[in-house]
Each structure stands twice: as C-alpha cells, then as structure tokens.
Structure 1
Amino acid sequence: MPSSDKNSNNADAVHGHPLIKADEPAIDLVKLALKNVVILGIAAVAGIGLGIFAYKILGPKYTASSQILVKLKNPVEIREGGNRVIVGERSAHVEIIRSPKVVERAVRDSHLDQLATLAGSTEPARDIIDSLKVTRTAGEDHHQLNILNLQYTTSKSKDATAILNGIIKAYDDYLKDDAQKNHSELQTLLEQINNDLSPRLAAKTKEYHEFRRSAPLVWKAPAGADKGPNNVTNIHHQRVDAIATERVKVELLYEEISSRLSTLKAAIERGESHEALMLLVKTFLQKDQTSNSQTVVSGATERQQLDSQLIPLLLEEQTALKRYGSGHPDVINVRKRIDLVKSYYRQMGIDLPTMTTKVNPVTGEPELVTGNDPIATYVVALEQQQAELKNRIGELQKLFDRSADQAKDFAQYEEREQTLSDELKRIKSLHDIVANRVEVLSLASDEGYQLTQISPSRAEPDIKHVIKIVGGCLVMTLMSTYAFLFLREMRDTSLKSLADLRAIVDTPILGTLPSIANPAKNLQAARETGLAPMLYYYHDPGSPEAEACRSVRATFFVRAADVDAHIIQFTSSEPGDGKTTTISNLAISIAQAGKRVLLIDADLRKPMVHQLFGMREEIGLSECLSGEIEMANAVQDSRIENLDILSAGSIPAKPAELLSSSKLHYLLGQAKREYDFVLVDSPPVLAVSDPCITAQSVDTVMLIVRLHKNRRPSVKRALEIFEAHEIPLLGVIANGLQDGSGDYQYRGGYGGGYDKKSPYQQTNDMPEFLAPTQAVIPS
C-alpha cells in the first residue's frame, strides 16, 4: 500500500513548481494570416468585385488640366540691400487662384452654377475649390516668370473643361483689376506726399536749423551731414578736462612738498647734525635740477621758482664763508646774487623765506626773526609752498565744480540736437521711400501681371478615381475580414496545437497521440478477438497510432523512473477527451514491453474499460472496496500477456464515499507489490471529485488533453485543482483526435442518475465498437 506521506523527493520532482504558466499565449498575426490565407484571398476577390460594382454605381470621373504662364508685363527692378531683385512671390498665385474671391467671380462671370454638375449645389464656389488643384511646375520665388498647372475633377468632361476655363478667365480679370488698383495707389501716394510728408519734412528741417543757430554749441559738420565722434565742440567740456589735468599736477606737487617737509622736520627732531641736514637739502635740490624742474613738476608758482634759486645761493654762501671768510671775493659775489634774488621777492610782493617767528619768553608774543640759515630758510620755503599749493587745490576744485555744472547744462543741448536730428532722418527716410515708390509706379504705367494660357484645357478619365474606389473596397474588405478572424481567434480558446498546450502548461508533455486514420480496418480483428477496434496497439502494432503510443511509452518509462512512480492515475479535464482509450492502449504497450501491468477502472460512474476488453462488469473494484470479494478473485485476464484488468464492477449509489475508504489504499498497495505498473482510470477532474479522492492513494497523476476540443480555461482549471489538492502531476499526453461525434457522453452528467445500460448505441444487436462506423475515442 502506498504510504500516505509519499517520498518528498518524488513530490518535489513532480510538482515542485507551478503547473500553469502565468502569461497567456499571444496571437501571432502573421501565422493567423497564413492560416486563413484562403479566406483572405476570397475576401480580396470579394473586395475587388465590390469596388468594381461601386465604381459602376458612382460613375466615372474626369480630370481637366491646363497650364498658364504668369509674368510681369514691365518688370522694374527694386533692389533690396543692393543685391537681390524682388518682383513678387509665385506662391501667392497658387493661393489667389484657389481663393473664394477668384472662384466666385468665375461662377458669376461664366455662369458655372448652371452646369449639370453644379446645378443642385448651394455653394458652387466651395465645391469648385474642393476639387480644384493648383501646382507650381516652373519658376522660383521672386521670379518674373511662373508656370502653374491647374486641374479640376468632376463627373462630366465638358463641365470640367468649362469650369477650368472659367477660373483661368476670372484670374486673368483679377490681375488686370489689380494693375488698375496700383495706378490708384500712385495717385493716393502723390496726394500723401503733397499733403503730409513734404510739409512735415520742411517744418522739421526749419526747426532743426533754428535750434543749431541758437544753441551755444559749435558743430564741425554741417546740418544733415553724417556726424563723427567729435562733431560738437563744447568749451565747458574742454575746460573741465583742463582743470582736472591741472588739479592733478598741483596735487602731485603738494604731495611732493609735504613729503620733503616731513622728512626734513623728522631729521631735525632726531637731532641730526648741521652737515647732515645740509646734505639732505642739497639732495632735494639736486633732484629738482636733474628733472629739469625748478621744484617737482612743471607749472610751479613764482614763490617756488624764487625759492629754488635762493636756497642754493644760501648754501653756497655758507660753504664760501667757512672756506674763505666774509671778505673773500667769492663770498661777496654770492651775497650780491642773493641780494638780487631777494629784490625779486620784494618786486613781486612775496615774503622772504628767511623771515621766521619765535615766541618771546618774556611777553609770550611771536616775534619776527631774520637770518641766513639755509636749512631754516628751506623749511620755511617748503611750508610757504605747501600752504600756497593747498589754497590752489581748493580754488581748482571750486572752478572744476562750476565748469562741470556748465558742461551738464550744455549736454542737454546735445541731446536735443540728437533728437531733432533723428526725427528729421525718419521723416526724410519715409519721404525717400514714398518718392522712390512713386517713381517706380510712374515708370511702370503698364504695370502688373500678364496671364497666358500655354496649354488648352483637356479632360481625361481619372484613373485615380478607379484606384481609390476599388482599392478602398479591397482594403476595407481585407481589414474587416482580418478583424473578424482576429476576434474569432481571441474568442476561440480551444487548444489547436501542441504549441498552444505548451503555452499554458508548465509541466512535461509526454507526447501526442494522433487521430485514428482508419478505425474500420480493425473491425474484423475485433470480431475475432472480442477486443474493441479502438485498441489499435493490439490489432495493428505497425500503425502510426501504435508507433506514437510507443513513443509516449518511452517517455513514460523515463518520467516514472525519475519520480519512482508505479501507481499512475489517468484523468482528463472533461468527458470525451479519449482518456480510457489512451490508458488502455498504453497499458497494452507497457505489457508487451515485458512489464506486468494491472489496469484498474476506477470510474465508478461511467466505466468503459470492460467494454473495450470484452469482459464482465458484475465483479470488480466496487465489490473489492465493499469487501464482497478479494482483489485476486476480481482481477480478470485480458488475454494479453502481462496485462490484467480490474473492472469497475457494479455502479454504487455513492461512488465518492466508496473511493474514500481506507480499503483503496490497501488494495493499491497490494497491487503495487504484485505488478510493475498499476494504471488507474478515473473520471474527468472537472466533472466530479472522484479523481481528487483517488489521487491521494496513487504515486502520481497523468493528465489527458484532447486537442481541438479542450479549451484553455478548462485545462487551466484542472491544473489549478491539482495544485490546490497538492496532487503530483507526472505529465500530459495530448490526443490529436478531432471531436466530431460527441457520442461519448455521461447521461445526465456525473452528478445525476445513472443507467447501467452500455453507453454504446446498439446497431443490429452489435456493440458500437464492433460496428463499421466512424471512430470514437471513449474516455
């Protein structure tokens, strides 16, 4: 008896992963088309026929075509930037010809609304525009010559030609009217010049000249001429620049004097010797002489110039006194020169630098002290120069501020002059443009475009109309047919091929058993042996069906050995899937391979195995489970070596309860010890719960799927039941038989009442499997 806790390795090997693939198979559009190529071909022929029929009903179309040449009568070149000649846009001709203005004029002047094709139209101009086509066949933008191609399509050839000629005439009249309008524009422009531009230009010119005469500015260029960067002479601007330059010079000189004075006073405070001080003074004086300046920079005052002459003479006098004495001619000569310089001081009213002051210790008042000490004299001279330069800087700053304010005031005159000049230029530019346009229009008195019809209007049958109708019907029919096939394919969930089965089943497929090509050939053998003709493996072991069964047997042996399975239950998702025929032929092939096989019919509702093998049905599994008989006495010999049969026996009132008894475990365990393989036939898993009950006592389960009959939802539902009950699945066998008869049915279904009468229909008192009728695979 198989153990209730089956070998875990076997279970993992059989159902260690989901049995159902997650993704539904996608529809291959190319394969769908190739599979239905005949239907699509018929649809194509029907579409072409429908198109020809529609063309005959709608009638033919005629297309009238003509060419026109549009060019300027007397082109006058107007150069843009001096490089390009502009004479008009040719693209404008296309839009104007198709405009409602021109088409309505054609309808009115040529009475096109009275034509047969437009007689019932409420908007003939709009209808003409919809069928009118204008293309540009020659010429370029801004070109004198333009060739345009006009086409019009309608149901009557004469109407097409008349409408096209009317449009060409209407556009010719439009061009002539446009030329006349240009002459009116000339008159308007002349009046505008006389009444507006010329007086405005004269008034603005007068205002500009009067401003230039009254403004306190000096212009280098005459009025109206191009201005340079320094056209205006503003004296205040020049004065501000000059004052700023002078102030910089004085500030530099002030800093130089202050630096010398600070250096000399610092040396005196440190108590430097008289000789050292004399040397420092000489150094400053030599520096002035080296730079060719009496002091520091050019532009020195009279005091600075006199001080620069007096101090060196005092130094020379000191040197001569020490060397020669006061009576020496050199000393006398130096003193005369000193007196001469001092006389210049007095003439110019400048105080001598040798005059200094000291505080009287008795009165506390400052007293004037005179002397010829060159060092003290140089210090006094520097202090006087410093004071004078400081005053001068202050005066220059005041002068700079006044001049800057005056320069800003004069800048307003410059801005006003620029504004007047710009306004005058704008008015003059507009005047020149208008005058130039007037000149052009005057020269082109016969201005405008000239239209010439270079190709007469000619109407021909419109081939495109035929192609559109026939092609449209063809495409519409093909698309509709293909859409129908696609929708039918989406709704059709049947498994039509092994690929469809592989797309949803994630478990090994052991093989496919083909449909029986000629089941009637086994009738004679069936009469002699008592075995049903559907047992093709026994009657015709060389047939393609038997060969396919051997292939399934080989795969079956490998899978069973992998999972160590000996008790295998066979079931299907629905009735009529060929389950019983498949297990019976596979049992024969395994027995003939030398394996001892016991075939048990566990379908206690609609048993079929005893009919296939021609055995009694009164004693079988039902009696064994109820304890009425032992299995050894109930097993029947199939007359096939190594194959024994345990039929279902009498049909019990409650099959599910009988299969749920522990007796089934004992019975199957006993059979496993006596036989190499025990094959159990059970009802469809979607019909009743019996297969799920029986599966708890077997090693594994084999699922039979019938192609072209079973649908994806039913197979998936069966696999879901296996997963929910943790039933190990050995694999799937696909029957390739077409379900054409539907004879095998469970009367009233698996859940209703049952009749013990054989489900085979009787013909001349002979079971159906012995009658020469079409092949049916019972389940």
Structure 2
Amino acid sequence: MLDQASPHSAIQDANGSADLLPEHHGESILAVFWRFKPLILVLVIIGTGVGYWRYHEKPTTYRATSQLMFKSDTPISLDSNTGIVRGGIPSGKLMQSLITSDAIVGRVASNPEVKSIPSLESSTEKQIAAMVRSGIHFQTLTDQSDSRDRMIAALNFDGRDPQLCVATVNAVSQAISQHFERERQSTINEVGELVRNAMDKLIREQKDLESEYLTFRDNADLEWNVEGQAINPYRERQFQLQSYRTELEHKKRELNSDLRLAINTRKLHRDPVLVAQIIGHLGSVVDEFEPLRQIVGPGNTAPDDLTLKKLEVERALIPLQIKRDQLELAYGASHPEVKSIAMQIESSQNKLNELNQQMSERIAELRAQSQRVDYDKAAREARDERARMAVDAYIRGLEAQLTVLAQDMSDIDLQIEKQKDEADKLKIVEERDASFNRQIETMRGLETQLEQQLAALNLADVKGGILVEPLLDTGQAYETGPDLKKDLVLFGMLGLGLSGLLAMIFESTAKMFRSAEEIQRELRLPVLTHIPLDEGRIQQGKGLVDSEIAKLDPKLSVVHRPYSPAAEAVRGVRTAMLFDRRQYNSKVFQITSPLPGDGKSTLAANVGCSVAQSGKRTLLIDLDLRSPRLSLRFNLEAKTGLTNVLNGELGPAEAVHQSPIENLDILPCGPLPANPAEALTLAELAEVFQWARDNYDFVIVDTPPLLMVSDPAVVTTYVDAAMLVMRIRRRCKPNAKEAISMLRAAGARVMGVVVNEIDDVSGGASYKSSASGSYQSIGYGYGDKYRRRYQQEAKTQDTYVVKGRHASDPGAMPGAPTGPVGEPGAYEREITDSEITDSFAPTVVPERRRTNVRS
C-alpha cells in the first residue's frame, strides 16, 4: 500500500489553497536516471558500439621511448646582490616548452637520420617539425624537490611508423644535448665579456678617481695620519683648549669651595686657631699655604685619622687572608704556602700594633705640651694672632687665584671660538675628502664582485654546466594503439553522459507528477491519500455475506475487501471529511476529477459506504447526468432519480434508493436528460441540496470531469468542499492545474487531492464532444456506446427532457424557455435569488426498502 497523507496535514483557506504544506526536497538524480534506465541503457550500448567501430577504424600506432638524465655541476645558489637563483636544473614544464620550441624541433627536422626515413622523403622540414611537435612527449620521473641538481625524464614519441619513432627520439635527445651545450657556451662567453668590459671600465675610473684624490690632498689645508684619515688642525687645537678650560673650571670650583669654607668657618668660630685647624683639615689647597700648615701642625692630627690609617692597613691585609683561606681549604692548614701567608699576616698585624702604640704615646706627649703652652697667656695671644693672620692670608690668596683663573678662562674662550671658526671653514673640504673615500671604497667593492663573477664563470666553463646523459637506449618501438578498452569506456561514457542529459531534459519538461511532494508544491493542496491498484475480486466466506451485498460492484473494496490497502486508503478520505466537518461544519462534499477514467465514481461509492459504516446517515447523489455510474455500482434500477425530482414528478424522498449498506442512501441520475448542463442550473437543484442537508449527516456528490464539461463548476455553488481525484498519467500535471484553477475560479474550497493508482498499460486518453452532448473517451466507457447501453438497461429514451416541476406553469418560473429542446432560447436563462432560496418542504425519509434494487 502506498503512503497516505494525514487528513489534517494542511489547513486550507477559503479558496482551497493550503496555508501550510510539507517542505519539498526534490528528487535525486539517481532516481531520475533509474526512471529513464531504458534510454540510458540504449545510449550506453550505442556508445560502446560506436567505440568498437572506432577501434577498428583507427590505424596502428607505435611508441619509442628513452630516458635522459639532466645534471648540473653548478650547485644551485642565490645571488645576494641581484636575488637571482643560479645553477640547478629547469622545471619539467620549462623542459616541455623547450622541447617543442623552434630551437629543438628545427634541429630534429634537419637531422639526416630523420630525413632519410622513407615515409618522410617527400615531406618538407616544416611538415616534419609539425609532426615532431604533435608526437613528442616529455615526462619527469623524479620530484624536483628531491634534487635540485639532477632530474630524470622520459622522452616518448608516438607515430604510425616504428622506424620514424626511434629516429625521432634519438634526434630529439641529440638536439637537447646540443642546445644546452651551445647555450652554456654562449652564456658564458657573453657574460664573461660583459664582466671583463665592466672591470676594465671600473679600473680606469678607479685610477682617475685616485689621481684626482691625490691632487685634492696636495691642495687641501687638512692633515692626514698614518692610517689615511683626514685631520682638521684647527679642530684638534679647539679640542685641546676645551680640555684645558675644563681643568681650569674644575680648579675654580675647588678654590670657590675652599673660599666659602674659610669665610663661613671664620664667621662661626671666634678662636683663630680652631678656624685654622678646621681649614687645615677640610681645605683642599692647604698645603700650598705654609703659614697655615705650620699652625695646624702634626700635633693636631685627629685621632680619627689614626683609625682610618689603621683600617687602610687592615684592608690591605684582606687579600692575603682570602688567599690563605683558599689555600687552606684546598691543601690544608699544614701546607707550606698556607703557613707562609699566615706568617705574613701575623707579622703585619704585629707591626701595626707597635705603630699604634707609638702613635698613641706621641699624641699624648703632644697634648701635654699643648696644655703647658696654654698656661702662658702671652704665648697664647701670639699664637692666636698668627692663626688669624694665616687665615686672612689664606682667604686673600684664594681670592687672588680665582681672579687669575677667571682671566685665563676668558682668554681661552676667545681662543676656542677662533679655532672653531677656522675649523668650520674646512668643513666643506672634510666632506669632499669623505666623498672621495666612499667612492673609492665602492669601486673597490664592485671590483671584488666582478672578480668573483668572473671566477664563477671560469669554474662553470670547467665543470660543464647542464649535461644531458642517456640512461636508456631507445631500442625498438612497441605498439600502443588502438586501445579497445579505452575506446569502449570513452564512448560508453559519452553515451552515458548524453543519456543522462536527455533524461534530465525529459524530466524537466515532463508533464506528469512524480511524487506527492510535487503535487503539493504545484497544486498548493495536500494529498489526502493514495489509493493503490485494487484487483476487484470479492472476498467472502461461506454464509457470511448478504446476497444483496454480494451483488454490489466488486470495485466497492470497502464492502467486499474491508481489510485491503484500498479500503484503508478510502478510510483515510473519510477521516479527512470528518476533520473538515469538525472544522468547517461541512456536510456536502463534491468529488470530481480532471478527466474521465480517474476513478471519481468508484471513490464516491467507496467513501459513501465507509462514512455509512461509521454510523453517519449518508446520501450519495449522482450528478453526472451524462454518464452516471452510481446505479451500476450499487445494482439499482435507474427508472427514477434526480431528473424526475428536478421535473417535479417526484419528491426527493421518493426518488431516493436504499442500498444494502446500512445508513447509506443513493439518489441516482434517473432518466438521462438531453440537456444535462441546463438541468444543473435549475433552482430545483438547490432545493434538493437543502433537503439533503436537513435529512442527512453527510452528502457526497459525484460530478463529471472538470476538463470535459462545465457541469462540476456549476455544482460547486451547492457544496461545502470539493475533492479532486486523479490518476498519474501523461499530461496529468497541466490537467490537474487547470482543474484546480476551474474549481477555485468557481469559488470552491478544495479539501485536497486523492491520487488513484494507475497501471503501466493505461496511458493517456483523448476526448471529443459528441453530437448528443455527452463526452467520450477511448477506453473509459463514456460516450454514445455506453449511453445506448444505459438507456437499453434502464429503458429510457433521448426524448426525456429535464425542465423542472414548475415548467408546466409558465408564470411560476420567470425566464422559462418557450421553444422546444435544442432550439435557440431553450434553457438559456439565469437562476434568480428567489429560485435558489425556494426549497421543498421537509420530507421524512421512508423506512428502508429493497423494491428498487435490481434482481
């Protein structure tokens, strides 16, 4: 059983379009190819056949091959000055271009061995060159990244003459070797000549520049040292004067410090001796003033000075102590050298202690003498006076020195400025000397580079540059073609590609639905269900089926095969109707199709049976007034029906036929009308639908195909929802689109589409209108033949005309036709609002009877 769409998979609007449809993912290319597999298979077979024919038509080809090794004795290098990579082997692509160039092909075309081939005796060198280019192939066998100075390659030539193949390969190998030899010699000679000319020119320019530089030095005011560096004498004198002035500045700062110290000390202390002693201890130039030094004397040396001297001596002993500790750690305390150093340290400390003792005694003696002098007043005053005079003389001396220093510094500043002006005048001469030096150094560097390049060229000349050596002799040419497998695969693939292209073109231009997703996408409607192909056999057990039900059409799968896939699919339609009833309060459902043969009548009968089996009172109305089928499906007599009701001969309840199915009634067509289209425009039809709404839970209407007649579009005004039944056949896509457009244009709300299975034999159908107003279809059963069969079984005539029950009263039906049926003016009127609202009085449906069932 095919897949079924959920009855509530989409919510439709009032115009029948789906608001929400499943997403379409398309169809795979493999599925399209599988559908057109006969076409693909035929074209592939044709392609392989063409390949086999092509194989027999091709001439025999031969190949001669040889292997060559290219090696370079000059290693690959990068010139740091020019950025050019030198040495090494060219790439494979460059070698391929070289082999097909005029330089190589021209040598091959003029080779005597090649020209002596019998097949080329009448060929010109231009033709031979074109033949070589078309047949020669070069292929590298080694990766260039593995070795930059060696490359192994295969040289092949394909042709129809084996002797020509061998001769061509040999000639190309010789031409390649000659080309590299001549290229190497030409390059070396050309570059060597350039280098030598450049060196000669550079040497001449260098000599001229050096001569000009010597002349410049003879006339310049500069001096040069032994290293050849230029010296400006004025700037040298300027630097010396600046150095001397710096020393005077330092001396001036010292004198200023001593002067401020002496003046401040004299202001702070009244004792001239104390002032002299402070100046003597702190002043930096005290030794230059003998009177002040005599007053300070050695007896006034502070004890702190002795302590400092002691520390200095001890500090001098520290290296000896460290050395002693290291030797003792390395060799032990008993080592002779360790003992020697220890004795030196001990002796120095003893001498220091003796010196300290002597100095202590001398200081005590001097202090005692000073104390004795202090008791003599006259001596003390004389000492103070000498100290005062010495301090004053010291201060005046410092001031005199500062005055002399200031004068000297002023004179030196004038001399420095003068030397600076003279040195600046020689600045241009210095810059010119530097320029001469730079030019000479540049020329020397260029000369060195040219010498190196010339040496490299001579080395390449000796080593040989790129050499070509044959690794494999050409030997005999071997047969290479034609290749049957290659031709079969090639043309087979061409056939496959062409067939695939045609399959895609046919698929893109196909007018047939391929899947439910495509139907939903193109029609904007949900697919309610898929009804599979039903065998149509009655399945019944012994004594379990009513004899009346057994007489029903075998196509009623819901009745005869309730557990079949087809019956289950019909129940899916019933479920969709129940949901629609709950959502839109729908009662009347129209079932139609684009073309005859889509199975609308069979579906309407099955759906009616399925709804009735669910306990709902159901009425089936056969509005296919051209080819009614419901009476045949349920084995009913068709003497009375809807047409009698429309003519007023019977009431709706009297025209209804009870079926053997519980809760299911059928309102058949009745006598076939001669004017079926006009019969559906009568106001009485609206009354019939209103009566059906009042007395039944569900009303199912079977209408003609949409694309054949206009009857279904008229009926849409009386129904709540419509369903479209279709089979998958040729041109079903445009037919379905046109049918849906007609329903939507008429204002119908389309629930969805029911896809009815079609077998492979059915094919498409062609139709035409008959003279009697019915429609015909090849293989469908519609048309005059079936009409005569129905009339014969129902015993009716073509003279039966449906006019409505008010036809006998011209005043009761405005706009009623006055002429006979078929004449101009007959049934050509519009239905008024009063006619549509006019309805039958409610009629109670009689109890079920079987009198109208055919035996």
Q: Do the structures match in fold with TM over 0.5?
A: yes
Cα distance change of structure 1 residues 288 and 275 upon mapping to structure 2, 3 Å threshold = closer
Check conservation: 2:539, 2:561, Cα contact below 8 A. Answer: no
Match of 2:48, SS? Answer: helix
Check conservation: 2:530, 2:756, Cα contact below 8 A. Answer: yes
User: What is the root-mean-square deviation of aligned Cα atoms in Å?
Assistant: 5.6
**Matched AA of 1:541:** R
Cα distance change of structure 1 residues 408 and 283 upon mapping to structure 2, 3 Å threshold = farther
Aligned twin of 1:733: 754
Range with bigger deviation, 643-652 or 673-682: 643-652
1:705 to 726, 734, 740: 726
User: Are residues 1:555 and 2:575 paired?
Assistant: yes
Check conservation: 1:533, 1:769, Cα contact below 8 A. Answer: no
Cα distance change of structure 1 residues 620 and 291 upon mapping to structure 2, 3 Å threshold = farther
Once the two structures are superposed, what CA deviation does each residue of 1:595-637 show, in whole Å capped at 9, x if it has no partner? 5432102234554434555656665334434545321222234
Aligned twin of 1:470: 488
Check conservation: 1:609, 1:647, Cα contact below 8 A. Answer: yes
> Following TM superposition, by how much is the alpha carbon of 1:738 offset from its aligned partner in structure 2, in angstroms?
4.0
Which residues in structure 2 correspond to 1:241-640 (within 5 Å)?
241-245=239-243, 275-276=267-268, 290=282, 292=284, 328=382, 331=385, 384=403, 388=407, 391-392=410-411, 394-395=413-414, 398-399=417-418, 401-402=420-421, 404-405=423-424, 408-409=427-428, 411-433=430-452, 435-437=454-456, 439-440=458-459, 449=467, 451-452=469-470, 454-462=472-480, 468-504=486-522, 509-517=527-535, 535-537=555-557, 540-541=560-561, 544=564, 547-548=567-568, 551-552=571-572, 555-556=575-576, 558-559=578-579, 562-563=582-583, 564-591=585-612, 595-604=616-625, 606-610=627-631, 612-613=633-634, 619-625=640-646, 627-638=648-659
**Matched AA of 1:151:** N
Which residues in structure 2 correspond to 1:687-726 (within 5 Å)?
690-709=711-730, 711-716=732-737, 718-719=739-740
C-alpha separation between the residues in 1 aligned to 2:657 and 2:277? 153
Aligned twin of 1:66: 66
**Matched AA of 2:601:** T
Cα distance change of structure 1 residues 441 and 594 upon mapping to structure 2, 3 Å threshold = closer
C-alpha separation between the residues in 1 aligned to 2:692 and 2:424? 130
**Matched AA of 2:176:** Y
User: Are residues 1:218 and 2:239 paired?
Assistant: no
Check conservation: 1:243, 1:400, Cα contact below 8 A. Answer: no
C-alpha separation between the residues in 2 aligned to 1:482 and 1:57? 27
Cα distance change of structure 1 residues 379 and 36 upon mapping to structure 2, 3 Å threshold = same
Aligned twin of 1:365: none
Cα distance change of structure 1 residues 546 and 425 upon mapping to structure 2, 3 Å threshold = closer
Check conservation: 2:61, 2:158, Cα contact below 8 A. Answer: yes
Cα distance change of structure 1 residues 516 and 762 upon mapping to structure 2, 3 Å threshold = farther
Match of 2:723, SS? Answer: strand
C-alpha separation between the residues in 1 aligned to 2:271 and 2:255? 17
> Following TM superposition, by how much is the alpha carbon of 1:101 offset from its aligned partner in structure 2, in angstroms?
0.3
C-alpha separation between the residues in 1 aligned to 2:166 and 2:132? 12
Check conservation: 1:514, 1:545, Cα contact below 8 A. Answer: yes
Match of 1:458, SS? Answer: coil
C-alpha separation between the residues in 1 aligned to 2:435 and 2:138? 57
Once the two structures are superposed, what CA deviation does each residue of 1:652-673 show, in whole Å capped at 9, x if it has no partner? 7886776566644543342234
C-alpha separation between the residues in 1 aligned to 2:535 and 2:479? 60
C-alpha separation between the residues in 2 aligned to 1:275 and 1:407? 56
Aligned twin of 2:668: 647
Match of 1:456, SS? Answer: coil
Aligned twin of 1:128: 132
Once the two structures are superposed, what CA deviation does each residue of 1:511-558 show, in whole Å capped at 9, x if it has no partner? 222234468999xxxxx9997856343895379575445544663565
1:671 to 674, 692, 715: 692
C-alpha separation between the residues in 2 aligned to 1:279 and 1:688? 151
Aligned twin of 2:176: 171
Once the two structures are superposed, what CA deviation does each residue of 1:194-213 show, in whole Å capped at 9, x if it has no partner? 96565555555555666667
**Matched AA of 1:491:** T
Check conservation: 1:68, 1:148, Cα contact below 8 A. Answer: yes
Match of 1:462, SS? Answer: strand
Range with bigger deviation, 718-727 or 151-160: 718-727
> Following TM superposition, by how much is the alpha carbon of 1:122 offset from its aligned partner in structure 2, in angstroms?
5.4
Once the two structures are superposed, what CA deviation does each residue of 1:182-239 show, in whole Å capped at 9, x if it has no partner? 78669957974896565555555555666667763435547xxxxxxxx665555544
Aligned twin of 2:111: 109
> Following TM superposition, by how much is the alpha carbon of 1:646 offset from its aligned partner in structure 2, in angstroms?
1.6
Match of 2:473, SS? Answer: strand
Range with bigger deviation, 153-162 or 112-121: 112-121
C-alpha separation between the residues in 1 aligned to 2:100 and 2:766? 76
**Matched AA of 1:415:** A
User: Are residues 1:28 and 2:33 paired?
Assistant: no
**Matched AA of 1:555:** T
C-alpha separation between the residues in 2 aligned to 1:764 and 1:688? 16
C-alpha separation between the residues in 1 aligned to 2:733 and 2:244? 109
What's the TM-score, normalizing by structure 2? 0.64
> Following TM superposition, by how much is the alpha carbon of 1:168 offset from its aligned partner in structure 2, in angstroms?
1.8
Cα distance change of structure 1 residues 682 and 71 upon mapping to structure 2, 3 Å threshold = closer
C-alpha separation between the residues in 1 aligned to 2:143 and 2:424? 67
Cα distance change of structure 1 residues 714 and 143 upon mapping to structure 2, 3 Å threshold = closer
User: Are residues 1:156 and 2:161 paired?
Assistant: yes
Match of 2:474, SS? Answer: strand
Task: Report the number of matched residues.
Answer: 684
Aligned twin of 2:345: none
C-alpha separation between the residues in 1 aligned to 2:767 and 2:460? 105
Range with bigger deviation, 609-618 or 664-673: 609-618
> Following TM superposition, by how much is the alpha carbon of 1:679 offset from its aligned partner in structure 2, in angstroms?
0.9
Match of 2:769, SS? Answer: coil
C-alpha separation between the residues in 2 aligned to 1:568 and 1:332? 150
Structure 2 residue ranges without an equivalent (≥5): 1-7, 297-376, 541-547, 794-855
Match of 1:492, SS? Answer: coil
Check conservation: 1:532, 1:769, Cα contact below 8 A. Answer: no
> Following TM superposition, by how much is the alpha carbon of 1:105 offset from its aligned partner in structure 2, in angstroms?
0.9
> Following TM superposition, by how much is the alpha carbon of 1:429 offset from its aligned partner in structure 2, in angstroms?
1.5
Range with bigger deviation, 571-580 or 643-652: 643-652
C-alpha separation between the residues in 1 aligned to 2:647 and 2:242? 135
Cα distance change of structure 1 residues 418 and 63 upon mapping to structure 2, 3 Å threshold = same
> Following TM superposition, by how much is the alpha carbon of 1:165 offset from its aligned partner in structure 2, in angstroms?
1.8
**Matched AA of 2:490:** G
C-alpha separation between the residues in 2 aligned to 1:101 and 1:478? 45
**Matched AA of 1:480:** L
Structure 1 residue ranges without an equivalent (≥5): 1-9, 223-230, 295-304, 317-322, 339-371, 523-527, 771-779
C-alpha separation between the residues in 1 aligned to 2:791 and 2:647? 32
> Following TM superposition, by how much is the alpha carbon of 1:439 offset from its aligned partner in structure 2, in angstroms?
4.9
**Matched AA of 2:473:** S
Once the two structures are superposed, what CA deviation does each residue of 1:393-440 show, in whole Å capped at 9, x if it has no partner? 742651463265156345314412422322431342145235525753
**Matched AA of 2:104:** V
C-alpha separation between the residues in 1 aligned to 2:171 and 2:518? 68
> Following TM superposition, by how much is the alpha carbon of 1:479 offset from its aligned partner in structure 2, in angstroms?
1.1
Once the two structures are superposed, what CA deviation does each residue of 1:460-483 show, in whole Å capped at 9, x if it has no partner? 233696555433322221111011
**Matched AA of 1:128:** V
**Matched AA of 1:106:** V
**Matched AA of 1:436:** A
Cα distance change of structure 1 residues 665 and 290 upon mapping to structure 2, 3 Å threshold = farther
Aligned twin of 1:361: none
**Matched AA of 1:150:** L
C-alpha separation between the residues in 1 aligned to 2:695 and 2:510? 47
